Structure 1
Amino acid sequence: MRVDLFDFDLPPENIALRPARPRDAARMLVAKGAGPLADRQVRDLPEVLRAGDVLVFNDTRVIPAQLEGLRGEARIGATLHKRIDLRRWQAFVRNAKRLRPGDAIAFPAEVMGVAEERHDDGSWTLAFPGDEPVEVLLERAGRMPLPPYIAAKRPTDEADASDYQTMFAREKGAVAAPTAALHFTPGLVDALDAAGVARETLTLHVGAGTFLPVKAEDTSDHRMHSEWGRIDAATADRLNKARAAGGRVIAVGTTSLRLLESATGEDGVIRPFEGDTAIFITPGYRFNAIDGLMTNFHLPKSTLFMLVSALMGLERMQAVYAHAIGDGYRFYSYGDSSLLIP
């Protein structure tokens, strides 16, 4: 499909630079099939969902994966986006033309990185000498990797350290938050428990590739970056039993959805999964694992807007987004939410 089919105009004032407070006060646009749209709040979820439904969260934790350093006099910026092994990460590098294989980059707090190899997509493998875990080094030298559409408008500050983590964050490794779950609070979770709505967690370490623009003119020419994820056997079994009993599996965020779909065959059975996935979902895709999606509002011509268009239909999503823009919904990572049920 032509990528320009997924374009739309978004006024700058619709881009959220801070989250709603409290988190569950964010607005939520509910779209069920071809029925009328409903303007709700995230805290209304216990009324909108039904007993037996299962919300599936991503428990990945964002690490301070942005680094600023020097190679000689040259300033080098690096955003780690995928672990290769204990000492090496793949990274998008700013001012990469100043790097050669073997160059050392001096980051703050006496953290050193070595540029090992340049990849076809322009990213680099960075190695970190020493015995300390790379995550420990990042805690000293790195900063929270806010999305570019926020970072370009304001500096990262102390509030982002907590604002850009979900209440479910546990497994360190993401360089972008699973933002649909940023709206949840302990009080909302208690209300969902009381309403009989179950929850499960999986892990997908979100990479910085999620923010990369689609440069191809046709979706068939776009290459997705892979991300590592895991669903254990017990979780898969509970989800299969919930669906067999008539419950709906609602992915909280596109990250949960993509991992669930990667783990599920055409028979609709969710299986244990551990490894990389580069699944790219566009209109025409047949969903096997999920019955709905809770997600924020996405960028024009992005792979994520293509995904929601695959779930609901492109014309339907164009209408949903037109309503959201016209009614002042806040977009992107710190923005409002939608609940999409085909």
Structure 2
Amino acid sequence: MKAIYLDNAATTIIDSEVISVMHNAALENYGNPSSTHQFGRKAKAAIENARKNIARHFNVAASEIIFTSGGTEADNLILHNAVLNLGVQRIITSKIEHHAVLHTCEFLEKSQGIQLDFVQLDAQGNVDIEHLETLLATSDKKTLMSLMLINNEIGNLLPLEEVCHLAKKYHALFHSDTVQTIGHYSLDLQQFPIDFIVASAHKFHGPNGVGFAYFKKGFGVLPLFYGGNQEKGARSSTENVAGILGMEKALSFAIQNLEKDRNQISEIKKYFITELNHHFETIHFNGFSADENRSTYTILNVRFPTKNDLLLFSLDMAGIAVSGGSACQSGSNKGSHVLKEILKDEEAKFTSIRFSFSKYTTKEEIDFTIVKLKELLK
């Protein structure tokens, strides 16, 4: 059976060059970075060099990068520090953020008594900038905005310049879950003054279980858990040397080939949209996922003109891997909280599928997927 992978927003295939780097690290760089002997010093030097190289891609200092187990831990580290360490009393976010942000904010509201406000969204899932400014203007409490740069389910792009302008105007801190951004878009943090971002290596053809948090210089960092005082006290746990070096290689490779990969993947997405519109009547695209200027080139969220609860399973049986929403909720019967928030009740009854692409996606795979969709939805 032909295997087609169209769930790259969940995780990506690891590049062979990354596997090679990790393999060599496991064989040759197995020392504990906290050890003072030559094996430990070699491992420490390797991760500090990786930190510098990663920081360079974002035009920030190496000391502002903290290695984590991925985006979820990085979001938690940032949000907990904002409240417990930086004196934030109020968080403004949206109801279609990743649960790593939403659930953490809800926990901080209950446990720390912070004020939690949700910015309004339009019918396409875009942040209402006027309402965001109203929220910022109506309170003197120290505020953090937490708004993702690219929505992981519908692919909408945040109007970054406008949000950064409001953060500066109202002296608010700005955190963005950039998991779907890193490795796919360039991000100069001197040009866009975001205070906190996060990354997860497996979203850009790196390994699972490793990522980083960026804390703008001047913010002290309290750890989420205690032990060995690694990462200059910001994160206790022996560093994942092979994972960090693999992430560095994956990010370097992604940024080096950014324009070429973006053009290639954009063509795949446009071709898929054209084919879907040609073969299916009254098909809809959730959010702005079909708009090349207002969504990422890697995600397309499709609402079919039918209700088919087994479509995801049937596609899987045909060898096509896709998602009905965030893969982080796989196994859950709750459905997509993002689509529930932006779709009308009548629209939400129909079956929606998230297709997400990578540089390894081919037109032949898209053609095969169209054929199978026609068979299953005839």
Task: Give the TM-score, by structure 2 length.
Answer: 0.25
Task: Give the TM-score, by structure 1 length.
Answer: 0.27
Identify, as 1 or 2, the structure richer in strand.
1
Identify, as 1 or 2, the structure richer in helix.
2
